[in-house]
Chain A
């Protein structure tokens, strides 16, 4: 069974630009979450999508947005990039059969390394 895939793996952008990252979950998984990892702040939750609906959102500005498609693939978009947005962006998927997870492991992709110059 294929794991979580993320594209692209590496990205270099300049301040003010926007970027779109893609995540394909494990087949059959309906929940996709996004995290930002930086040396200073560690791993922080961005948002979670379940069946195309955003169920939960972390404490990030509105420049960070996402969406989920009917096949559970997800994209996140960052507009008006700032230097501080440089980070490893990780996507995770889980089965979540009942809509509320207590037993489902989250499986992480390899991440997209975003560098903002």
Chain B
């Protein structure tokens, strides 16, 4: 059974800092890995998708890496801003479009 773990559970940083969120998964038989953000009481917004054959993806200040063999992914956020405050969720995709989520990292960026 796939299990996804995210570390740290919560993070508070001053504005402008670069930060790294970690995600690990137990079964490497995945189709892809996705990072989402969720604002309080809202749905999920897709940030980055890394296919199982890829090593990383970049979008603006975000960079996500994937090491499938070791079951790890990191999300790097450069020059953090207060608007980045949200819960960040990592999910691996299994057959049939099934996403298995981690518990998330609650990020607070202080101005």
Q: Contacts A42-B104, A43-B89, A111-B42; is A102 near B51 (CB within 8 Å)?
A: yes
For B100, what are the chain A residues with a Cβ–Cβ distance below 8 Å? 45
**B44 engages A101 (CB within 8 Å):** no
Residue A33 at the chain B interface, CB threshold 8 Å? yes
Residue A107 at the chain B interface, CB threshold 8 Å? yes
**B104 engages A33 (CB within 8 Å):** no
Which secondary structure dominates chain B's binding surface?
A: strand
**A101 engages B99 (CB within 8 Å):** no
Residue B88 at the chain A interface, CB threshold 8 Å? no
Can you name 21 A-B residue pairings with CB atoms under 8 Å?
A33-B98, A33-B99, A35-B99, A42-B102, A44-B101, A45-B99, A45-B100, A48-B98, A55-B97, A56-B96, A56-B98, A58-B98, A92-B99, A96-B97, A101-B31, A101-B93, A101-B97, A105-B34, A105-B49, A106-B93, A108-B36
